[in-house]
Each structure stands twice: as C-alpha cells, then as structure tokens.
Amino acid sequence: MQILGKIFSFLQIQSLKSSRLTCKIWRRAALPFLQKCSKVVLIRGGKADRDQYSFRNFLEFISSLPPEEIPFQHYYLDHWALNEKREKSLKQFWDICGPSMKILHLSNVIFYEIQTIRNILYYWSPHLESLRLEDCLFYTITNENAFQKLKEELKAEDFDEPNLSYDYYDHVTVEQLKDVKREETVLNANTSLMEFAYDQLEEEEFPLAWEEIFHAFPNIQKLNIGLTTKADQTTKLLEALNSVRQDSQVMGSISELRFFRNSKTSCKLDLQDSHLYQISNIMCLPLTSLNFVVNESISLEAIANIVRQYSPVLKNLCLHSELEGEAPLELFKYQRFPSLTKLCVCMNVIGGTFSFVTIMPKLKKLHIWLKEEDFSWDTKSMDEAILRCLALKHSNQDMTEMSFGYTISVPKPVGLLCSWFRNLRVLMMALTDDIIRVVFRELEKLEEITVFDRHLTDAGITGNPASLSENSPWSAKSAREFPYIGDLKKLWKFSLTFRRYENITDASIYQGFMDVPGLSSLLLTRTKIGERALRDLSMRSTLITLITPTVCKGTELEYAD
C-alpha cells in the first residue's frame, strides 16, 4: 500500500477516473485519488476471479467505507452471473453501491430469475441516470437443486459462495414470457434515468415487457438500440414506446434516438424500413437527434422520410452507409435544417459534395466519416471534394468543430478550411508535418487537436526540420523555420491516436509541448519519447492528464496489476 501511494505521489496523480480493481494492495492507498466520476471495472468468475479475487477484494474495500465516502458512481460489470437467491454477496454489493450508483453498464451478464432482473434495474439503484444492457442472457429455474445435472455446466468459481447447491436453469422461452406480467407498482420506479441502451448479440428474448421498462423509467431522453438486436425485438420495443406515448400517466421525453453498431461484432444488421416507419408514426415523439446506418435492409426513401419529418427540430443528425458506391440523399439538396448544430455523415450519403452546408445555417460541428469514429487509410482522399466546393466558404462562420475520417494528402484543402473557419476550437483529422504547420499558423483559437496520421514527426510539432538531439539542442535564440505547436496559446488537449509514431522523440517534448502554456491533457501512443522527458513534462503544473505506455498521470489512468 505504501509503495502504491509513493508511485501516485511521484507521478503527481491528482485523481483517477477509470479503475480496474484487480489487486489486493489497492485498498486505502487509492482512496485519496478517487473521485465521484470514477469508473469501476469489475470482471467476475473463472480463473481470473480465483487468482485475483477482484470482486471479493472490492467488496471488502467498499464495505470498510462509510456510505458518504464511497467514491464511485460509474460501474461496468462484465461476465457476471447474477443469482440473488444463491449469492449473499450480490445483495450486499448492491446495498452498499446501489444508492450512489449513477451509471451502470452490464455486459455478458447472466440473469437468474425475473425478480432479480427487476430488483437490479428498478429498485436497487434508485438514482441511476444511465443504464446499458449489452449481450445479456436470461435464465429461469426448471429444476431446483439439480447438482449432478449441472455439475459439468456451471463451475463453482462462477459464484461467491463455496459448496453451494445448484438449481437447474434454462433459457427463458417465448412461452414462459407469456406468464411474465408487468408489475403495477413499477410505475415511476426510477425518475432519474435519462439514458437507456439495449444491445443483444445473442438470439435471446428480453424477459420483461418493454411497456414495463418505459413505465419504470418515464423520463428517458436518450434511447440507444444496437443494430444487431433482432428485428422482432426492435419491433416490440417501438410498439411499446408508441403505446406508452399515448398513456397520460407517462410523460415520455425521448429526444434522442440512436441505432448503433457494437464494435465487438460484425453480425448482420437487423434494422429495417418498417422500423423507421414505426418511429415516424409514434405520436408526438419530440426527436431532436437521429442516428442511423444505411444498409441493404434500409432504403434511402425510408431514411429520407423520417429525416424530412424531423428536419425542422433536429439538432443532431448522424448518417453512415455500408453500401458500396455513392448513395446520396436528395433531400440534402433542398430540405432546410434550421436547428441542426451537429452533422455526422459519410461522403457516400452527401454525394461527395459539401453543398449541403448552405441549408444548415446553425451548423457548428461537422464530422465526415465512412464509419462513425473509425479512421481508415483505405478511404479515398477528400482533397478534390474540398477544393471544388466553395459552398463551405459561405456556411456558418461560427463552426467550432471539424472531424474528418478520410485522408487529406496535401496542405491546400486544409489551408482553405482554415481560412474559412477561423473560429474552430476542435480539429480531428489526418495531419502530416506539412498540413499541421498550416493549422498552427491559421487556427490560433484551437483548443483540442486529435491526430489520425501515423506520419507526423518531430519536424511537424517543433516547426524545425533539423534533427534535434541532446548534442545539438534547439534554443529559443534560434529562429524556427515553420509555425509550431507553441503558437497555439489556447490549446489544452492534444492526442495521437495511432499505435506507433516512430519519428516523435524527446524533441517534441522539449521544443514543442513544453511551450504550450495551458496544456492539460496529452495522449501519446507508441513514440520514441524517453521516460525522462515524459517525467519532466508530467511535472508541469497545468498538465492534469498524461497517457503514455510508460508514464501516466491524471483523470484517465486505469490501474491494472
């Protein structure tokens, strides 16, 4: 414990945001550095739990704290078997952590018994604000205490209690679901929940009626549905949403509807045209945010219909396409979006042109990606599309954020963007040495930069193409040949996202990052920067977050043994 405390002190760690509690020495040493937004990752069962006792250790640690001192609100539970009847520690965990729990992500969790599902979702965490169910399994008892029958299927290490007697469980079937009634007392069980996400990769029936879910969480504002969720499940969910919207007892305030692809799977997407028309027919749904993926089962006509319906009030629109070749939406040529502030699209959907910006007078955030937040070097260059489209010049000059998942190979298109949008605060794109120099020269108001280009070198960051080393250091008395990162006086966050940057060394620290006055967040992936330079940088009073393979500091440090 003392060693861990010294490590934190040496690295000047102020707080921890993400904590993987898998080590016995954690305990009190970490407590002074934890904060209310800290995320706890708990993985149970099997060899990992036997070797590290992660859940038992965490339960012992948290049990020693007064309720008002519990520093966690965000929990990610992975590979849990939730058997309320057999596991005393399960109820103990929720008694301690449930009252202060704000965010809960359940992944690959096996639920046993309908009442346990209800307890966890509705009653044991009364102040939840965000809930995500991902790839969960639902079982029911078919034969109690059938130890021999289950001996080979379930291992003792999957549970906390030694030598327990087993019940025989099987998947909940459609017939059994008919007997699952909606509890009348579930109305308004949790009025704090604002965000609900459901994603099911297995062919698993959800055992609770969706009407019950919406009655339990009447104030949901963000509804996220996984694109691999089976079509009939999505249909039932939307039917329930329509039914609840007509119920005067339930307010219903959903304003953001997102169909998302799970990064863990490449399964076929099951969203269909019929689902989009269902959404269009839901009574008085005040949607201001839509997120869809165009694929073989969704027509452009269905997409256009729902986008056109909500275009007067939409503030956030995200459309990506998995179809080969261009499949442009014609409504981007004439339909006005008077309230839209953020647009995420791929080049296929917009037809390779930026003329759409003229019908979006309030647009402030523009993200152009083939797939959402998934940069690829296989995409075509955006050079020509930017150079031939002068419409961008006449778009909203108050644009504050731009993000491009396509390559830009030469400085000229970036130079045009910089001259048109001098108020940019956030920039995310491929930045080579030549291109980033244009950014440093033109965008003095930049606050955040994310680099997707793996070819960035010291020369781009430092503004001096000469090879710099300890034997021939650059000094302030020497004139820099190009603009450099120190010219951005308002920059506070800089991130390198590719795995390796072979030509970024200590020079970028001493002749670049050290000169940025307000730098507080720096993410460096594999570079040639030495530990000494990183530690020198970590001593800066303004730097709160530093993420590297060898030295870490700040709010996003994840501790693992």
- On whether both 219 and 115 belong to a single domain, the answer is no
- On whether both 410 and 467 belong to a single domain, the answer is no
- On whether both 357 and 438 belong to a single domain, the answer is no
Q: What's the 3-state SS for 241-288?
A: HHHHHCCCCCCCCCCEEEEECCCCCCCCCCCCHHHHHHHHHCCCCCCC
Residue 468 lies in a domain: yes
Give the number of other CB atoms < 10 A from CB of residue 244: 22
CA distances from 388 to 130, 263, 354, 385, 439 (A): 44, 34, 9, 6, 20
Across the beta sheet with 168-171, the strand order is 81-82, 110-112, 137-143, 168-171
- On whether both 483 and 526 belong to a single domain, the answer is yes
Residue 408 lies in a domain: yes
Which residues lie closer than 8 Å to 515 by C-beta, 6 or more apart? 484, 485, 486
Residue 5 lies in a domain: no
Residue 445 lies in a domain: yes
SS3 507: helix
The CATH number for 78's domain is: 3.80.10
Give the Cα separation of 128 and 196 in Å (integer).
10
- On whether both 155 and 252 belong to a single domain, the answer is no
Residue 36 has a pLDDT of 52
SS3 450: strand
Write out the two tokens for 456: 């960035």
Residue 41 has a pLDDT of 76
- On whether both 459 and 509 belong to a single domain, the answer is yes
Nearest-5° Cα angle at 127, 125 to 131 = 70
CA distances from 216 to 45, 229, 239, 315 (A): 30, 22, 16, 27
Give the Cα separation of 181 and 115 in Å (integer).
11
Residue 373 has a pLDDT of 64
Give the Cα separation of 196 and 130 in Å (integer).
6
Residue 473 has a pLDDT of 56
Q: Are 549 and 526 in contact (CB under 8 A)?
A: yes
Q: Which residues of the chain register pLDDT less than 70?
A: 1-38, 43-55, 83-88, 140-185, 202-203, 247-252, 262-269, 325-327, 372-374, 376-379, 390-391, 394, 465-479, 541, 548-561
Domain stop point among 140, 171, 202: 171
- On whether both 134 and 256 belong to a single domain, the answer is no
Residue 300 lies in a domain: no
Q: Report H helices in 119-223.
A: 147-150, 174-177, 210-216
Question: Rounded to the nearest 10 degrees, how much is the dihedral formed by the CA atoms of 19, 25, 31, 37?
Answer: 10
- On whether both 148 and 26 belong to a single domain, the answer is yes
Domain stop point among 237, 268, 287: 287
- On whether both 159 and 25 belong to a single domain, the answer is yes
Give the Cα separation of 556 and 11 in Å (integer).
13
Give the Cα separation of 480 and 470 in Å (integer).
18
CA-based radius of gyration for the chain: 26
Residue 445 has a pLDDT of 94
Nearest-5° Cα angle at 455, 441 to 468 = 70
- On whether both 152 and 30 belong to a single domain, the answer is yes
Let me know how long the chain is.
561
Nearest residue to 56 via CA among 11, 99, 101, 26 = 26
Residue 307 lies in a domain: no
Residue 71 lies in a domain: yes
- On whether both 246 and 323 belong to a single domain, the answer is no
Residue 477 has a pLDDT of 53
Residue 264 has a pLDDT of 58
Residue 161 lies in a domain: yes
Ramachandran region, residue 373 (left: φ > 0; alpha: ψ -120 to 50; beta: rest): left
SS3 543: coil
Strand 545-547 relative to strand 552-553: parallel, antiparallel, unpaired? antiparallel
- On whether both 44 and 154 belong to a single domain, the answer is yes
Domain stop point among 287, 307, 336: 287
Structural domain range at position 480 = 431-561
Structural domains in the chain (count): 4
Q: Are 5 and 38 in contact (CB under 8 A)?
A: no
Give the Cα separation of 437 and 415 in Å (integer).
10
